[in-house]
């Protein structure tokens, strides 16, 4: 059977507007194998995993497990684990890091506050501080969710690590198996599909300069899918590549049609009409699924710049 990522690539399925949504990412290092639902089917205490899942519900926080590229042996000892938290909403972007030997300390986090962009509990519970070692490249490698993530993601993570790319981690699940290898770049929260090592290096170089690379970009996780597609379309249309320069301030409507308002930090505003379509012909949305599907796609129908009050008065 053809792999879902191979079919998606052959059909040239668009990647824009397909990123997972989260205002804040919380990442915990967990060695060893990962199951289909990593928080409760890895070597992490499943009771802790369930408690974290429950605490994150409705907060905007997405919790994922990470591990270093390479062999995935779990020594079974209380090793020091890396923890990251990143808020990806423009105007309050931050990436903090911490270390802990006891992952149960994450239960002391105020996830509602983290989701809203307040990092104080990360410092209080874990001693977290601003991360100053450059951007992170999180490569989805969880083959228990979909084999494409392991077959395509693990070699990419290994290649990046072997070539000296700092901040490379394997991550449990970023969604969109059929776009493997998938990568999330922090602190800005942009996801990429069908990634290759040279392209990821360019994305990371751009992130260091505060610049967004649009090739292969699935969207910023801060926005819902219509907002992701709208923001990327505006960036392309006006040639704006500055990270944090654009914000989605309003999304009106419901499937299959929305009107999205995108605002520039300099005050410019655009109204973007986004329509939900179906990707045809039907294709496997995930490996191992016998039923073919027509995954939703976000298509920009129109773009209009809005006149501001100051412009009308001049």
Over 50: is that where the pLDDT of 310 sits?
no
d(CA 151, CA 112): 36
Q: Residue 291: which pLDDT band, with cuts at 50, 70 and 90?
A: confident
Q: Residue 267's pLDDT is what? A: 96
d(CA 3, CA 151): 10
26 token code pair: 């919380």
Share of the chain above pLDDT 90, in %: 73
pLDDT digits (tens, 9 = 90+) for 107-165: 999 999 999 999 999 999 999 999 999 999 999 997 555 566 777 889 999 999 999 99
DSSP tag of 313: H
What mean pLDDT value characterizes the chain? 90
CA-CA-CA-CA torsion for 167, 173, 177, 182, nearest 10 degrees?
A: -10
Higher pLDDT among residues 269 and 7, named by residue:
269
Helix (H, G, I), strand (E, B) or coil at 218: strand
d(CA 74, CA 313): 65
Q: Is residue 50 a contact partner of residue 40, using CB atoms and an 8 Å limit?
A: yes
Over 60: is that where the pLDDT of 12 sits?
yes
Q: CA of 272: how far to CAs of 106, 198, 260, in Å?
A: 39, 32, 5
Q: Diameter of the chain by CA atoms? A: 68
């Amino acid at each position: 059977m053809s792999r879902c990522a191979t079919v998606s690539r052959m059909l040239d399925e668009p990647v824009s507007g397909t990123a997972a949504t989260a205002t804040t990412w919380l990442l915990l290092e967990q060695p060893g194998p990962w199951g289909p639902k990593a928080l409760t089917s890895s070597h992490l205490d499943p009771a802790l995993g369930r408690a974290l899942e429950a605490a994150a519900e409705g907060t905007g926080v997405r919790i994922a497990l990470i591990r270093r590229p390479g062999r995935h042996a779990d020594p079974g000892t209380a090793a020091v684990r890396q923890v990251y938290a990143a808020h990806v909403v423009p105007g309050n972007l931050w990436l903090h890091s911490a270390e802990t030997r006891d992952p149960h300390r994450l239960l002391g986090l105020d996830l509602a506050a983290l989701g809203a962009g307040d990092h104080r509990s990360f410092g209080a519970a874990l001693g977290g501080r601003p991360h100053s070692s450059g951007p992170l490249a999180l490569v989805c490698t969880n083959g228990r969710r979909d084999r494409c993530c392991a077959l395509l993601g693990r070699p990419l993570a290994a290649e990046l690590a072997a070539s000296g790319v700092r901040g490379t981690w394997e991550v449990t699940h970023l969604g969109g198996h059929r776009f493997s290898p998938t990568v999330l770049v922090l602190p800005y929260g942009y996801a990429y599909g069908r990634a290759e090592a040279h392209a990821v290096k360019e994305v990371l170089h751009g992130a260091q300069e505060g610049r967004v690379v649009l090739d292969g970009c699935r969207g910023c996780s801060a926005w819902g899918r219509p907002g992701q597609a709208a923001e990327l379309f505006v960036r392309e249309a006006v040639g704006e590549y500055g990270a944090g320069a654009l914000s989605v301030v309003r999304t009106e409507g419901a499937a299959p049609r929305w009107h999205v308002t995108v605002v520039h930090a300099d005050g410019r505003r655009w109204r973007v009409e986004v329509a939900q379509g179906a990707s045809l012909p039907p294709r496997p949305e995930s490996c191992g699924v016998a039923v073919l599907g027509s995954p939703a796609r976000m298509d920009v129908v129109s773009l209009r710049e809005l006149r501001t009050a100051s412009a009308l008065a001049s």
